[in-house]
Amino acid sequence: MLTTPTPLRAPEPAPGVVALADAADPGTAGAKAAALARARHAGIPVLPGFVLDPDAAAAVAAGFPGPARHAARVAWAELSHDGARALVVRSSSTVEDGAESSMAGRFESVLDVRGWDGFVAAVRTVVDSGAAVHAGLPVAGRMAVLVQPFVEPEAGGVMFGADPVTGRRDRTVVAAVAGGPHRLVSGAVDGVTVTLSRRARVIDASGSIPAVDENLRALAALSRRAAAVFGGPQDVEWAIVGGEIVMLQSRPITASGADAEAQGPVLGPGPVAETFPDPLAPLELDLWVAPLRDAIRDVLTITGAASARRIAASPVVAEVGGRVAADLELLGIERPTGARSLFARIDPRPPARRLRVAWQVGRLRAALPALARDLLAEVDEQLAAVPAPDALTDRQLLGLLDAARQALKSVHGHEMLAGQLLDAHGAPVTAAAQALRVLAAQPRDGLTDEEAVARHPVLLALVPPRIGGTIELPPAPTTLPAAPDADERELLREALRLRARWLQELTARAAVTLGRRLHAAGRLADAGSVRDLRLPALRALVTGEAASADPAPAAAATAPLPARFRLTPHGAVVAVRARGDRVTAGGRGAGGGRVQGVVLPAGSLPADGAVLVVRTLDPGLAPVLPGLRGLVSETGSVLSHLAILARELGVATVVGVEDALRRYPAGTQVVVDGGTGEVSVVTHEEVAA
């Protein structure tokens, strides 16, 4: 049970000085002091103290004689017992500790302040830090100064009423060190991290501190009381003084998943990575991914693999920063989470539905080879009849895009049905392997890659689809194993997959032609930017419904997607580990998402999109964070001030990565996952892609 510590004598109110117990107005006392005053009135143990309002703080810092300085000296003498007791002088800006930004670590605090001259110097340090930070903010801020007794705790740290990385509100995360919490929040030491359940049961712990272990239930109770007082989970700084827990600071949790917890099915790029290995532009998504999504829905419905409600509720194929991923649970690759209800287990309708579907699928399995052959012949006939894009009008090219999208849906659907329903008995065979044999066997005779593809269209199986650019074939292999003996069923599936690639290429060339014409007509600033239009915008330009269009700005390079992940309501990626999987590489994720970037050289200025690798989370790094994409540290706590600030700024942060400076030298392309704590090097092949 929390009890109030032995009270320390507080100063009498004076002009420009407010006793902490009365510092309820954040406009004059600053947010930090006002929160502590509110907590104290709610019965939460808080050390006494006083607050210099911004005018009084500025007067003391500047050394101006007058009533404010006199009042400050009286308050100082009361609280310090005429200099016999050391004090701590803390920032209490009107813009820190907000719901949107904590400003963690941006302002100075001075510990173990002794004597009047030392007090004046400490106030000046805090006020000056406020002036430097406030100048760079879009909103005006003023610096009040909070003064309290300096104590030497048995232990201290920070505590989050919700997991700051995952956003789970049924978790309390406690980070602690022996002694004062300043060593932890500064990033100087890692400390011990303990994750508690809603009932204060230890779920995970990285170490042990006796004074903390004895007070875990009391800490959890403090977290619950703070949430009740302030209306939501709090980031609480605390200390154990004389065996009692006192609150040193409380502010809303910022930049966690608490308001945007990852939801929905488990997604992953695996089933579609072979087709779409690279990020796609908006028009590519509309032309190629939409037909694939529709085809998967149709196949799942036909085969009864999922209920209509489950299919309707799923994204089926999701787009994340241009990268494509499929619903792994819907496709049966990942087992859905959550136990089935008792009614669902005894409901007789699913078996009956499966029986009906089995009858339908049995008929389809028998008919599918003939249907696939007919579709192949039809697509080949249609492709052969299509004139060169330059011979078609703009509206005919639009019609070609629509027709090709419908054909893609049909081809994708038949290819998936062939994979599910036709049991191949021969060795696996792929169009890509056949293309490599063609590449090795055919003399180039000076042909360009474009000309080689025109002569041998199977070579498109070696090149991912793209609107614009040039075709670049891989080098011809020197040796290849003999072609395996594959049965017709396996060949049918690969033939369908190759037709899908041909249809993608046809739509790409039609889009390039439209882009060139729209640019010549002055409706598009650059012919290549046609790929950055959505299909409705392209249609409006061609039909004259719109005179011009502004393509979407080029998206920043996105990191490769995790093998398994969920999305928050805002579209952020949260990696999901496979059951029983434990991450062995990397460190502890401190949030900020998952990004890809190049490691900066030591001592260089931050470059847009770069990753900084450091030995420790030095608070002096705060000004460079806005220019970073990722931050990796060999030491530090996920609850340190710099880690909190990095989360707020959307900088993917991982701490506790052993030997990071050596493992990730300057110039290395890395993926930093602030959710799982993984840091991985991107291969040359992935960079080239």
Q: Which residues of 67-94 are buried (b: 16+ CB within 10 A; e: fewer)?
A: ebbebbbbbbebbbeeeeebbbbbbbbb
With bands split at pLDDT 50, 70 and 90, how would you rate the model's confidence at 12? very low
**Distances 306 to 228, 314, 368 between C-alpha atoms, Å:** 43, 11, 21
DSSP 258: G
CA 478 to CA 492: how far, in whole Å?
28
Helix H or strand E segment including 366: helix 349-385
Q: Say which residue, 309 or 8, is predicted with more confidence.
A: 309
**Mean pLDDT (the chain, rounded):** 81
Q: Is the pLDDT of residue 109 over 70?
A: yes
Q: Which one is predicted more confidently, 553 or 153?
A: 153
pLDDT of residue 361: 62
Confidence at residue 626, expressed as pLDDT on a 0 to 100 scale: 75
For 113, the token pair is: 């302040």
- Pick 344 or 228 by higher pLDDT: 228
Task: Return the axis-axis angle of helices 488-520 and 394-421, rounded to nearest 10°.
Answer: 160
298: which 2 tokens?
Answer: 């149709």
As a whole number, mean pLDDT of residues 617-631 equals: 76
DSSP designation for 285: I
Instruction: Note whether 453 and 471 are within 8 A (CB).
Output: yes
Residue 277: predicted pLDDT: 82
Tokens 């194929």 — which residue?
317
Domains of the chain: 1-150 (3.30.1490.20), 266-337+346-429+484-543 (no CATH), 572-688 (3.50.30.10)
Asked whether the predicted pLDDT for residue 212 surpasses 80, the reply is: yes
User: Which two tokens mark 374?
Assistant: 């007919």
State the first-to-last Cα distance of the chain, in angstroms, to the nearest integer. 59
Q: What is the pLDDT of residue 26?
A: 86
Q: Model confidence at 346, in pLDDT bands (50, 70, 90)?
A: very low
* Residue 315 to residue 297: CA distance in whole angstroms: 10
Helices (H) and strands (E) in the chain, counts: 21, 23
Banded model confidence at residue 316, pLDDT cuts 50, 70, 90? very high
Closest CA to 656 of 602, 600, 611, 617: 617
DSSP 430-452: -HHHHHHHHHHHS--TT--HHHH
pLDDT of residue 501 exceeding 90, the answer is yes
pLDDT of residue 358: 57
Check residue 355 and give its pLDDT.
47
Assess contact for 429 and 495: CB atoms under 8 A: no
- CA 55 to CA 33: how far, in whole Å? 16
Tell me the average pLDDT across 343-354.
42
- Cα 657 to Cα 679: distance, rounded to the nearest angstrom: 8
Task: Find, among 169, 218, 178, the residue nearest to 198 by Cα.
Answer: 169
Tokens of 388: 């060169």
Mean pLDDT for 526-555 is 85
**pLDDT tens per residue across span 259-292:** 446 678 889 887 887 788 889 999 999 999 999 9
For the CA atoms of 58, 59, 60, 61, the dihedral, rounded to the nearest 10 degrees, stands at 50
- What pLDDT is stored for residue 352 in this prediction? 45
| Two tokens, residue 424 | 């191949």
Burial of 540 (C-beta count, 10 Å sphere; 0-12/13-18/19+)? middle
Burial class (CB in 10 A: 0-12, 13-18, 19+), 523: middle
At residue 74 the predicted structure's pLDDT band, cuts being 50, 70 and 90, is very high
Region 334-360: mean pLDDT is: 49
**pLDDT band, very low/low/confident/very high, at 198 (cuts 50, 70, 90):** confident
Closest CA to 234 of 214, 244, 220: 220
Per-residue pLDDT at 420: 72
Q: Which has the minimum average pLDDT: 311-320, 387-396, 576-585, 640-649? A: 576-585
| Confidence at residue 349, expressed as pLDDT on a 0 to 100 scale | 39
Q: What pLDDT, in 10s, does the model give residues 663-688?
A: 899 899 999 988 888 898 886 545 44
Contact status, residue 387 vs residue 397, Cβ threshold 8 Å: no
- The neighbouring-strand residues paired with 246 are 239
Render 371-419 in DSSP notation, one character per residue.
HHHHHHHHHHHHHHHPPPGGGS-HHHHHHHHHHHHHHHHHHHHHHHHHH
Q: Quote the pLDDT of residue 136.
A: 56
Letter for the amino acid at 58?
A: A
**Mean pLDDT, residues 600-605:** 72
Residue 201 has pLDDT above 50, yes or no: yes
Indicate the residue type of 297. R
With tokens 């930004």, the residue in question is 101
User: How far, in Å, are 66, 77, 182, 384, 511 from residue 63 at the CA level?
Assistant: 9, 17, 28, 88, 71
126-130, 403-407, 625-629: segment of lowest average pLDDT: 625-629
Helix, strand or coil, per DSSP, at residue 157:
strand
pLDDT score of 148 more than 90: yes
Query: Rounded to an integer, what distance in angstroms lies between the CA atom of residue 440 and that of residue 512?
Result: 30
